[in-house]
Amino acid sequence: MTLEQRSLPDPLLGSDGRKVTTEEQWRSVRRPDILRLFRDYVYGREPVGRPEHIGFHVEKEDGFMEGAAIRKRVEIRFEGPGGAGAFRLLLFLPAKAAKPVPVFLLINNRGRAVADAERASSSPFWPAELIVSRGYAAALFHTEELDPDRDDGFADGVHGLFDPVEKPRSPHAWGTIAAWAWGACRAMDYLETDPDIDPRRVAVVGHSRGGKTALWAGAIDPRFAMVVSNNSGCTGAALSRGKRGETIRDINARFPHWFCETYKSFDGRENELPVDQHMLLSLIAPRALYVSSATEDLWADPESEFLSLIAAEPVYRLFGSEGLGTASLPPADTPVFGSGVGYHIRTGKHDMGLSDWRHFIDFADRAMRAQ
Ligand code: GTR
């Protein structure tokens, strides 16, 4: 389905019916409006930003990768009305690069195997060796440590620590994707304190449910200079209107804890949502945004991911940034880079691997240059 046939809401048309024509109008009026809509209707409202009680503890720091990297393990601890919590950040820094270095922060939804701190087997899903060899730090945290990925009535994880105890829960309260995104922001809180890291060059990366999370983290936290969404599909990068494969009804049925309760009232009614996902992408502007798809990932719907990026470009243009320079899906394995946005579609299935990472790093080399 073409973009025209999808009848998308216009990100640059204010709720008062007036067209946004300046960066200032976007920043002070339209952007906060769109962010509020996504909080109310889709991802839910997080009850707290940076908690009053938060601390960082570097548990261990040692040489690694035959001297090519410094490995740090950091514990991020916090307290809320429901008690204390913590999660760990694993960080490999390029030992020889001039500091501070830029960093790729992966929201890891694939469990311990890909993140083995000993690198007993290096994983294509998180190729820390490649990232470090290109002069970037590789950081990662596990989504499960913020909130286990199960529908438990929001008792465990950070929901249990920060949600008010009153029941029933608000239909706008945060879901699990928002809890993981909140974790990415707390990882950013730590990165800002690490003298080896350049906090103005942090790219947040996620695959699939992690990709939805990376986009939401980039939307709520402008400290992320770059966002990478890999195969994020439904309620990630892909447009909901006219989408093939997974729909809002499908995702809410299989993962009832990912989004706020209100989102369920849009099952089968994507055309009535006041937002569509190109508006989520537009919240990243003018910062760097990279979207990647895979040819066999029809459940995510590559065309709807690509067209979503195209539909977000007018907001990038408002900031004087060029778009991709093409409105049609590029050939497989051929990345297209604009100044603010980049895209590729990889041959293969729903996954993230070395070739994806090479393109992310190439794009970051251009889009996140040291100032
Ligand atoms: C799929 C799901 C997607 C995506 C993915 C994943 O089965 O339907 O929305 O999030 O799983 O995270 O691997």
Q: In the predicted model, what is the mean pLDDT of residues 290-309? A: 98
pLDDT at 137: 97
- Can you list the domains of the chain with their CATH numbers? 33-367 (3.40.50.1820)
In angstroms, the CA 260 to CA 324 distance is 33
Nearest ligand 1 atom to the CA of 210 is: 12
The amino acid present at 24, given as its one-letter code, is E
CA of 251 to the centre of ligand 1 (A): 8
Beta strand extents in the chain (DSSP E only): 53-64, 69-80, 83-94, 101-108, 137-142, 197-207, 226-230, 288-294, 336-337, 341-346
For residue 350, give the ligand 1 atom closest to its CA. 13
Q: Is the pLDDT of residue 371 over 80?
A: no
Atom index in ligand 1 nearest the CA of residue 254 equals: 8
Burial class (CB in 10 A: 0-12, 13-18, 19+), 369: exposed
- State both tokens at 245: 């494969």
pLDDT mean over 266-278? 98
Ligand 1 centroid from CA 169, angstroms: 25
Q: Give the pLDDT mean for 105-117.
A: 84
Q: Mean of the pLDDT values across residues 275-299?
A: 98
- Give the active site residue among 208, 292, 304, 321: 208
3-class DSSP state of 184: helix
Please give all residues whose beta carbon lies within 6 A of any atom in ligand 1, as ranges.
208-209, 233-234, 246, 251
- With b meaning 16 or more CB within 10 Å and e meaning fewer, what string describes 346-355? beeebbbbeb
pLDDT digits (tens, 9 = 90+) for 197-244: 999 999 999 999 999 999 999 999 999 999 999 999 999 999 999 999
Counting from 1 in the atom list of ligand 1, the atom nearest the Cα of 299 is: 8
Residue 208 among the catalytic residues: yes
Neighbours of 216 (CB within 10 A): 30
Residue bearing the CA closest to ligand 1, atom 12: 209
Kindly provide the ipTM of the predicted complex, given to two decimals: 0.92
Q: Which of 299, 304, 352 to mutate to test the pocket of ligand 1 (most atoms within 8 A of CB)?
A: 299
Angle between helices 176-191 and 209-220 (to 10 degrees): 60
What is residue 165's predicted lDDT score, i.e. its pLDDT?
62
**pLDDT value for 370:** 60
Q: Would you say how long the chain is, in residues?
A: 371
Choose which residue among 209, 249, 305, 352 to substitute to test ligand 1 binding: the one with the highest number of ligand atoms within 8 A of its C-beta: 209
Residue 118: pLDDT above 90?
Answer: no
- Look at ligand 1, atom 10, and give the residue with the nearest C-alpha: 209
Q: What is the pLDDT of residue 89?
A: 97
Distance 215 CA to ligand 1 centre (A): 15
121 has pLDDT over 80: no
Residue 87 has pLDDT above 90, yes or no: yes
Contacts of 28 (CB under 8 A, 6+ apart): none
Q: How remote is the CA of residue 265 from the centroid of ligand 1, in Å?
A: 20
Distance CA(161)–CA(278), nearest Å, equals 32
User: What is the model's pLDDT at position 120?
Assistant: 66
Residue written as token pair 């990232």? 131
- 238: tokens are 């892909």
Active site annotation includes 339:
no
Distance 78 CA to ligand 1 centre (A): 29
Q: Cα separation of 54 and 47, whole Å?
A: 15
Q: Apex CA 91: angle with CA 85 and CA 97, to 5°?
A: 150
Is the pTM higher than 0.90? The answer reads yes
Spacing, Cα 233 to ligand 1 middle (Å):
8
The ligand 1 atom nearest the CA atom of 250: 8
pLDDT(99) > 60? yes
pLDDT tens, residue by residue, 310-342: 999 999 999 999 899 999 999 999 999 999 999
